């Protein structure tokens, strides 16, 4: 809502306050003013000029030579390029030395050999937005609609001294979507009265009911419909004050009748509609739900197909307006309109909202109906507009209003005790203060002991319950005056749950392992995920009903594609060594047509490319490989106290390098995958050798995990034996280790692989693995013989099970 400071002054005495001061007070009491802007965007020294002569420029077809009286001894010559400039017009002249918005300074100039002493201005050149300028002269200069005095200051005539408060209204304060409502709000803050416009007027002899009847077939949607008849009007541009007032409020002037309905809409917050009575098509107003498939061409010349959810105004046969949203083209007020049928109605918010949303038609009218207009002001607004039409456009307002009226205008009654108010706020406000605040709000009330019985005026539809009254009292009492206390409740132990604490541990572990945390979007496209899922388009995905774009059309089922996007983004910016991890949810449904909330599973994923370690001047460089990633995963499992049998099983998940990927099994249950991205998939992202892991974080942090128990430090020395084995290439290191552990028995305390060799010194198809074995007895010092005995059985076991031989 744009509130002109000058206009507001018509309803409340605020001469002692600047626009900024009013704005600050409104903001502090709950109606936020985003900005106070000045109508003057930097204009100086402009006057009214009268065009005495206007001829074509001898050297240029598109220029005019104008002799203009600017109230000085002699007229001045001004070259003007506007097509609509004409003799006898009163125009805005920026004199030599004047300033226009943007710091432009007007100088004496020569245009194609002719001197030009000043400039005849368009409204746009004076800082008005093009969309607010009447269509008649958006392409040219602005001619004043009435006679003016040459030389007179044009700033005031154009209302450029005005300031506009831009209200950022919350949905509950629809009452401030009007000048009068805003005036009431300012009045409540300042404790001042509001001056309402005069609505009494002279009426013609004839009765409106002789011209029109009103019938409503949808009284739920339309509890009030009032029709006022105004005969013999003259359609013309509005007087200047009305035009500038509307422009300040952000509304484009059209013609006097339409401008008046808009003016009253802004003044009362009550949308009105003027029909051309002679084009209405009948003498009967019938309000009803539209028929499915019924059509109407609205004022914007668009043909719209209606459904039974929408309310229409008809002439008994066909729709003439989409109720509360937009009028029909067939009954539009035009330049030759003589007789006006003026509608002042109350339409139900939800009905209007549905039509305006579904048709994508938001108007000043629909916005107000949706939020609820003041039922007590409907008729008054109609009368106010009729009075103004008669005054400005001529014509006679006929007697009576033809009405359908089932509107409830009883004030809402709310009771509350002083104790309740203070109890909620933590204040000790006294009865007199509450009485004063209610009076400022112009709420009538009765006081019964400590109990206030409050009758809320219908303009404040937002006030329904005790809590609403508490807020009204609090905001006018001043939030600053509420004391600062701490809750009197029993102390509660705060803290993280085990899972939340583990999440933090995982994050810290990864960060100290050199991995940066990433956060990416949950919405993605199935196409990106198809690289990793056989069933990318299958039913398990959760899709957004009306996506904004294909890119964000479905909820992710894996974090990997967006991490690859991030790597790719970095690579394109020459960040070549990147390690990222993300913890985030993925979404699956088991239903064919989703009706229940999908499963949300927290995943922990990482993606790596380039070097994971670099210390160049000492020659240390480590490119990321499978084992770097595996090491991180193993470390993480330990950090999370993961208990049980952890296995990395060679596998070929979709999207991965077939020889360099593994499934992670914990106690036989699949917990994730890791490995190199398949080179052809990496190519899709233009990535080099890239490694990833994706773990089911939810499953990893379930359960208590292994507690730490101290085990005694051995008192007897250990004995180390190293063995280098020759094996078939296909034998896995983990199998070898398993056999060693099995045959090593109780005395074997530790096995560690320390070398892997494949190459020229070995037979083809063979590899060598070297292990260091540590033997130890907690009870005594082991002898050579004891160790040799066990060690030999280990070697025999390796040979028997895996065909391993000692490397010579």
Partner 1 sequence: MLDRLQELKDEAIQKVNEANSVKELKDLRVAYLGKKGPITEVLKGMGKLSAEERPKVGQMANEVREAVADLINEKETKLEEEALVAKLREESIDVTLPGRPVGKGSKHPLTSVIETIEDIFIGMGFTVAEGPEVETDYYNFESLNLPKDHPARDMQDTFFITNDLLLRTQTSPVQTRTMEKHEGRGPVKIICPGKVYRRDEDDATHSHQFMQIEGLVVAEGIRMSDLKGIFEQFVKRYFGQDREIRLRPSFFPFTEPSAELDVSCAICAGKGCRTCKHTGWIEVLGSGMVHPNVLSMGGFDPEKYSGFAFGMGVERFAMLKYGIDDIRHFYTNDTRFLSQFNRV
The answer to whether 141 and 80 are in contact (CB under 8 A) is: yes
Q: Least distance (Å) from partner 1 to the CB of residue 523?
A: 7
A 10 A CB-CB count for 255 gives 20
Identify the DSSP state of 399: B
Binding test (CB under 8 A) with partner 1, winner from 105, 107, 317, 504 = 504
Q: Are strands 516-517 and 578-588 parallel, antiparallel or unpaired?
A: parallel
Q: By C-beta, is 241 or 479 nearer to partner 1?
A: 479
Binding test (CB under 8 A) with partner 1, winner from 455, 587, 626, 757 = 587
- Using CB under 8 A as the criterion, what x/- string covers residues 532-561 for binding partner 1? ----------xxxxxxx---x--x------
Q: Least distance (Å) from partner 1 to the CB of residue 193?
A: 23
Residue 612 within binding range of partner 1, rule CB under 8 A: yes
Q: Least distance (Å) from partner 1 to the CB of residue 202?
A: 40
Show contacts with partner 1 in window 657-696 (CB under 8 A).
Answer: none
Residue 516 within binding range of partner 1, rule CB under 8 A: yes
Binding residues for Mg(2+): 462, 468, 471-472
Q: By C-beta, is 388 or 563 nearer to partner 1?
A: 563
Q: Least distance (Å) from partner 1 to the CB of residue 4?
A: 22
Sequence-distant (≥ 6) Cβ neighbours of residue 783 within 8 angstroms: none
Residue 166 within binding range of partner 1, rule CB under 8 A: no
Q: Least distance (Å) from partner 1 to the CB of residue 386?
A: 30
Q: By C-beta, is 31 or 274 nearer to partner 1?
A: 31
For residue 582, give Cα distances in angstroms to 519, 558, 641, 657, 671.
6, 11, 20, 22, 16
Binding test (CB under 8 A) with partner 1, winner from 130, 193, 613, 686 = 613
Sequence-distant (≥ 6) Cβ neighbours of residue 656 within 8 angstroms: 673, 675, 676, 677, 678
Binding test (CB under 8 A) with partner 1, winner from 419, 514, 765, 803 = 514
Binding test (CB under 8 A) with partner 1, winner from 466, 527, 639, 684 = 466
- Select from 136, 116, 111, 127 the least CA-distant residue to 49: 116
Q: Is 544 helix (H, G, I), strand (E, B) or coil?
A: coil
In whole angstroms, give the CA distance from residue 98 to residue 103: 10
Residue 578 within binding range of partner 1, rule CB under 8 A: yes
Where are the alpha helices (H) located in 691-757, listed in sequence order?
697-700, 733-744
A 10 A CB-CB count for 402 gives 20
Residue 39 within binding range of partner 1, rule CB under 8 A: no
In whole angstroms, give the CA distance from residue 50 to residue 149: 8
The answer to whether 92 and 240 are in contact (CB under 8 A) is: no
Binding test (CB under 8 A) with partner 1, winner from 522, 525, 647, 772 = 522
For residue 254, give Cα distances in angstroms to 137, 139, 220, 269, 598.
11, 15, 33, 19, 53
Q: Least distance (Å) from partner 1 to the CB of residue 571?
A: 10
- Using CB under 8 A as the criterion, what x/- string covers residues 170-199 for binding partner 1? xxxxx-------------------------
Among 130-138, 300-308, 325-333, 423-431, the segment contacting partner 1 (CB under 8 A)? 423-431
Residue 149 within binding range of partner 1, rule CB under 8 A: no
Could you tell me how many residues of this chain bind partner 1 (CB under 8 A)?
99
Residue 115 within binding range of partner 1, rule CB under 8 A: no
Binding test (CB under 8 A) with partner 1, winner from 480, 592, 707, 785 = 480
Q: By C-beta, is 8 or 518 nearer to partner 1?
A: 518
Residue 627 within binding range of partner 1, rule CB under 8 A: no
Binding test (CB under 8 A) with partner 1, winner from 60, 109, 513, 770 = 513
DSSP string over 228-264: EEEES----PPPHHHHHHHHHTT-----HHHHHHHHH
- Select from 497, 559, 568, 534 the least CA-distant residue to 693: 559
Where are the alpha helices (H) located in 269-377, listed in sequence order?
349-358, 364-371
- Select from 270, 315, 293, 287 the least CA-distant residue to 220: 287
Which residues, in sequence order, are bridge partners of residue 613?
A: 622
Q: Which two tokens stand for residue 592?
A: 């064919």
Q: Which two tokens stand for residue 418?
A: 């002083």
Angle, helix 466-477 to helix 431-440, in steps of 10 degrees: 90
Binding residues: 462, 468, 471-472
Binding test (CB under 8 A) with partner 1, winner from 597, 711, 730, 808 = 597
Q: Least distance (Å) from partner 1 to the CB of residue 409?
A: 21
Among 52-60, 298-306, 574-582, 707-715, the segment contacting partner 1 (CB under 8 A)? 574-582
Binding test (CB under 8 A) with partner 1, winner from 152, 471, 689, 786 = 471
Q: Are strands 805-806 and 748-757 parallel, antiparallel or unpaired?
A: unpaired
Binding test (CB under 8 A) with partner 1, winner from 110, 135, 615, 704 = 615
Three-state secondary structure string covering 508-537: HHHHHCCCEECCCCCEECHHHHCCCCCCCC
Among 141-149, 275-283, 304-312, 485-493, the segment contacting partner 1 (CB under 8 A)? 485-493
Show contacts with partner 1 in window 73-102 (CB under 8 A).
Answer: none
Q: Is 784 helix (H, G, I), strand (E, B) or coil?
A: helix
Binding test (CB under 8 A) with partner 1, winner from 38, 442, 570, 601 = 570
Q: Least distance (Å) from partner 1 to the CB of residue 558?
A: 16
In whole angstroms, give the CA distance from residue 188 to residue 192: 7
- Using CB under 8 A as the criterion, what x/- string covers residues 340-369 for binding partner 1? ---------xx--xx---------------
Binding test (CB under 8 A) with partner 1, winner from 111, 196, 424, 751 = 424
Among 212-220, 260-268, 278-286, 499-507, the segment contacting partner 1 (CB under 8 A)? 499-507
Among 201-209, 593-601, 637-645, 757-765, the segment contacting partner 1 (CB under 8 A)? 593-601
In whole angstroms, give the CA distance from residue 360 to residue 584: 36
In whole angstroms, give the CA distance from residue 473 to residue 433: 9
Residue 485 within binding range of partner 1, rule CB under 8 A: yes
Binding test (CB under 8 A) with partner 1, winner from 97, 161, 426, 745 = 426
Identify the DSSP state of 205: S
Binding test (CB under 8 A) with partner 1, winner from 304, 371, 379, 387 = 371
Q: Least distance (Å) from partner 1 to the CB of residue 475?
A: 4
The answer to whether 508 and 534 are in contact (CB under 8 A) is: no
The answer to whether 49 and 150 are in contact (CB under 8 A) is: yes
In whole angstroms, give the CA distance from residue 422 to residue 428: 6
Residue 335 within binding range of partner 1, rule CB under 8 A: no
Show contacts with partner 1 in window 427-456 (CB under 8 A).
Answer: 427
The answer to whether 493 and 584 are in contact (CB under 8 A) is: no
């Amino acid at each position: 809502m744009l509130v002109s400071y000058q206009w507001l002054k018509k309803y409340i005495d605020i001469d002692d306050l600047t626009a900024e001061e009013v704005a600050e007070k409104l903001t502090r009491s709950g109606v936020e003013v985003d900005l106070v802007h000045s109508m003057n965007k930097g204009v100086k020294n402009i006057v009214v000029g009268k065009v005495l002569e206007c001829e074509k420029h001898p050297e240029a077809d598109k220029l005019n030579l104008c002799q203009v009286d600017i109230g000085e001894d002699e007229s001045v010559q001004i070259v003007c390029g506007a097509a609509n400039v004409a003799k006898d017009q009163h125009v805005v002249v920026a004199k030599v030395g004047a300033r226009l918005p943007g710091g432009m300074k007007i100088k004496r100039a020569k245009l194609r050999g002719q001197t030009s002493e000043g400039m005849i201005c368009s409204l746009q050149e004076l800082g008005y937005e093009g969309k607010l300028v009447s269509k008649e002269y958006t392409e040219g200069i602005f001619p004043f609609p009435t006679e003016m005095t040459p030389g007179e200051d044009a700033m005031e005539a154009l209302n450029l001294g005005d300031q506009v408060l831009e209200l950022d209204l919350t949905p509950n304060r629809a009452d401030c979507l009007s000048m009068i409502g805003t005036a009431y709000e300012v009045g409540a803050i300042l404790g001042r009265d509001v001056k309402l416009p005069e609505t009494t007027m002279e009426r013609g002899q004839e009765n409106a009911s002789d011209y029109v009847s009103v019938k409503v077939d949808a009284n739920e949607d339309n509890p009030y419909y009032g029709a006022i008849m105004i005969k013999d009007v003259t359609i013309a541009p509005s007087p200047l004050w009305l035009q500038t007032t509307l422009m300040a409020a952000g509304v484009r002037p059209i013609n006097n009748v339409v401008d008046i309905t808009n003016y009253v809409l802004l003044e009362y917050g009550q949308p009105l509609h003027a029909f051309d009575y002679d084009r209405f098509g009948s003498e009967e107003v019938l309000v009803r739900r539209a028929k499915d498939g019924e059509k109407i061409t609205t004022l914007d010349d668009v043909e719209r197909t209606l459904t039974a959810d929408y309310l229409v105004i008809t002439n008994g046969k066909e729709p003439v307006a989409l109720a509360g949203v937009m009028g029909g083209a067939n009954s539009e007020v035009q330049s030759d309109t003589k007789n006006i049928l003026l509608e002042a109605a109350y339409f139900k918010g939800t009905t209007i909202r549905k039509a305006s949303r579904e048709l994508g038609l938001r108007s000043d009218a629909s916005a107000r109906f949706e939020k609820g207009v003041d039922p007590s002001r409907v008729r008054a607004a109609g009368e106010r507009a009729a009075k103004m039409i008669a005054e400005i456009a001529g014509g006679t307002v006929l007697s009576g209003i033809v009405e359908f009226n089932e509107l409830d205008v009883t004030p809402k009654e709310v009771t509350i005790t002083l104790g309740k108010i203070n109890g909620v706020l933590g204040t000790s406000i006294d009865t007199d203060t509450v009485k004063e605040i209610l009076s400022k709000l112009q709420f009538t009330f009765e006081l019964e002991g400590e109990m206030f019985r409050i009758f809320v005026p219908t303009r404040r539809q937002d006030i329904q319950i005790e809590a609403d009254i508490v807020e009204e009292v609090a905001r006018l009492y001043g939030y600053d005056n509420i004391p600062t206390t701490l809750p009197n409740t029993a102390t509660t132990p705060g803290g993280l749950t085990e899972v939340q604490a583990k999440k933090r541990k995982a994050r810290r572990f990864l960060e100290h392992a050199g991995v940066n945390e990433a956060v990416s979007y949950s919405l993605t496209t199935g196409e990106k995920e198809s690289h990793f899922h056989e069933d990318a388009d299958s039913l398990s995905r959760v899709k957004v009903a009306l996506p904004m774009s294909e890119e964000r059309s479905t909820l992710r089922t894996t974090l990997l594609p967006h991490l690859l996007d991030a790597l790719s983004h970095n690579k394109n910016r020459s960040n070549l060594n990147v390690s990222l991890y993300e913890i985030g949810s993925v979404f699956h449904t088991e239903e064919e047509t989703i009706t229940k909330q999908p499963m949300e599973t927290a995943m922990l994923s990482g993606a790596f490319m380039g070097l994971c370690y670099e210390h160049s001047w000492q020659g240390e460089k480590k490119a990321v490989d499978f084992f770097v990633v595996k090491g991180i995963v193993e470390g993480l499992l330990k950090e999370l106290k993961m208990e049980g049998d952890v296995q990395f099983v060679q596998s070929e998940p979709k999207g991965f390098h077939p020889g360099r990927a593994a499934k992670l099994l914990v106690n036989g249950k699949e917990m994730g995958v890791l490995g190199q991205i398949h080179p052809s998939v990496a190519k899709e992202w233009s990535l080099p050798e890239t490694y990833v892991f994706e773990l089911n974080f939810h499953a990893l942090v379930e359960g208590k995990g292994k507690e730490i128990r101290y085990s005694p430090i051995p008192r007897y020395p250990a004995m180390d034996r190293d063995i280098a084995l020759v094996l078939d290439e296909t034998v896995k290191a983990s199998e070898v280790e398993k056999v060693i552990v099995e045959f090593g028995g109780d005395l074997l305390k530790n096995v560690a692989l320390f070398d892997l060799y494949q190459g020229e010194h070995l037979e083809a198809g063979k590899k060598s693995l070297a292990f260091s074995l540590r033997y130890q007895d907690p009870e005594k010092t082991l002898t050579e013989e004891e160790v040799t005995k066990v060690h030999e059985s280990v070697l025999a076991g390796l040979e028997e099970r895996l065909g391993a031989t000692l490397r010579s």
